[in-house]
Amino acid sequence: MKVEENVPASTFTTLRIGGPTRYLVDVNTERELTDALTFAHERDLPVYILGGGSNILVSDFGFAGVMIRPLMLGKEKLSEDIVSAQNIRKVRPSATVRLKVGAGENLDDVVVWTVLNAWWGIENISFVPGKLGGAIIQNAGCYGQEIAEAVESVEVYDREQDEFEILSKKACGFTYRHSIFNTNHKGRYIIMAVNLILAKTGTPNLKYKDVANYFVLPSVALAKDGGFKIPSQAEVRQAIIEIRTKKGQDPSQFWTAGSFFSNFKLKQKNFEILLAKIEANFSKEKAQELADLIQKIKAPSDAGMIKVPTAWILDILLGLKGFSIGGAELSQRQVLNVTNTGKATAKDCMELFKKARKIVWEKTGLLLVNEPELVGFRKEELENYFAL
């Protein structure tokens, strides 16, 4: 068990922001994990379970507790089956493969492994930073796929019961960007490994416009299928890498926490109220533009709710791309990203969040919700940042 003291969060988060962490503990085994929890308990310190540092904003004052970083590795094919694969959204029986992956594995490395083996189901989640365990907590997803679609079960340590157990996919309570791990049982479970089910054959998921447009051939006259190329799984992955890079989502080039804002999920009645507000405050054409967009997108876990893209609200409707406070900026490439332009502080990021939130509320009646977890902030600080 590796224990470090007073490690600046700016050294291990993708935003490169945050004050000192009292203790940072890396664990690789079940025994090291329980030892780390005992270490925190003996010192009466709070515990935070750290993933890859990609979905977190740490206060400028740091975290006065123990951050535990599970680094359990391993990628293993367990079996191949013919099943009714509900996890991969197929009605007919399909050849599938079952995998076991350590929670400490880099998410994109796992995607690469599946693409190299032609196992379908998570290729659209390419180039997303962070660890697999963190992706499970948040039900990470992009471009029409969510990690929950491929989950069979999750192996965890239950801090309340002091035992290791396996939770079924249903027990994990996955919804859009949520699970029991970041909602009603936040802090109770520590993810050790994930069991996945993927398809041995599949077709590309091109439901998102950016991905579909990538495969429109330049010369319709010379192309088959009406100027559209049906891509391979590897080509889908490459397309998404290029799209994400152009949008400033390459962590080697830009310091961000990924998407800083969740998309809105509305009931039909509330969506109609939103359209009316947009028509009143902007124009009938803008309201129709949003209505047309909604017809083209639907997240796997929407469960009857209407997903309204926050990027469209911030950029197309409100023109906030590039808006900045201090060293924090709503990215010029992807407005959902709060970017550290070099010297941003956590305060800069939260002041920017507060201002954007107020503008969105006043113009649309929608409340922006942060995706990154806010760590180390005092209660009164958060009350200020979330006040309208």
CA distances to 37, 42, 63, 219, 372 from 45, rounded to whole Å, are: 10, 8, 10, 63, 22
pLDDT tens per residue across span 52-101: 998 999 999 999 999 999 999 999 999 887 554 455 454 444 699 999 99
Say which range, 63-72, 139-148, 160-169, 202-211, has the weakest mean pLDDT: 202-211
Q: Is the pLDDT of residue 255 over 60?
A: yes
Q: Would the pLDDT of 331 be above 60?
A: yes
* Close Cβ partners of 280 (under 8 Å, ≥ 6 residues apart): none
Placement of tokens 């350590």 in the chain: 102
pLDDT tens per residue, range 106-127: 999 999 999 999 999 999 999 9
> At residue 381, does pLDDT exceed 70?
yes
Q: Which segments of the chain belong to CATH 3.90.78.10?
A: 256-386
Tokens describing residue 4: 């470090």
Backbone torsion region of residue 132, taken as left when φ is above 0, otherwise alpha when ψ lies between -120 and 50, otherwise beta: alpha
Confidence of residue 248 (pLDDT cuts 50, 70, 90): confident
Helix (H) or strand (E) holding 58: strand 56-58
**In CATH, which of 3.40.50.300, 3.30.43.10, 3.30.70.260, 3.20.20.140 is domain 2-70?**
3.30.43.10
Integer Cα distance of 317 and 364 in angstroms: 10
- Give me the pLDDT at residue 92, please: 47
CA distance 199 to 96: 4
In this structure, which topology does domain 75-199 adopt according to CATH? 3.30.465
Helices (H) and strands (E) in the chain, counts: 10, 19
What whole-number distance in Å separates Cα of residue 309 and Cα of residue 368?
11
Residues 6+ apart with CB under 8 A from 94: 82, 83, 84, 85, 88, 199, 200, 201
Note the pLDDT tens digit of each residue in 272-297: 999 999 999 999 999 999 999 988 76
Q: For residue range 138-151, what is the model confidence (pLDDT) as tens digits?
A: 999 999 899 999 99
Other residues' Cβ atoms within 10 Å of the Cβ of residue 116: 11
* Strand 163-168, strand 189-199: pairing: unpaired
Numbered ranges of CATH 3.30.43.10 in the chain: 2-70
Q: Report the predicted TM-score, pTM, of the whole model to 2 decimal places.
A: 0.85
Give the confidence band of 250 by pLDDT, cuts at 50, 70, 90: confident
Mean pLDDT, residues 304-312 taken together: 91
CATH of span 256-386: 3.90.78.10
Cα separations (Å) of 240 from 89, 156, 161, 247, 248? 21, 31, 41, 10, 12
Q: What is the largest CA-CA distance in the chain?
A: 72
The pLDDT assigned to 219 comes to 52
CATH 3.30.465.10 residue spans of the chain: 75-199
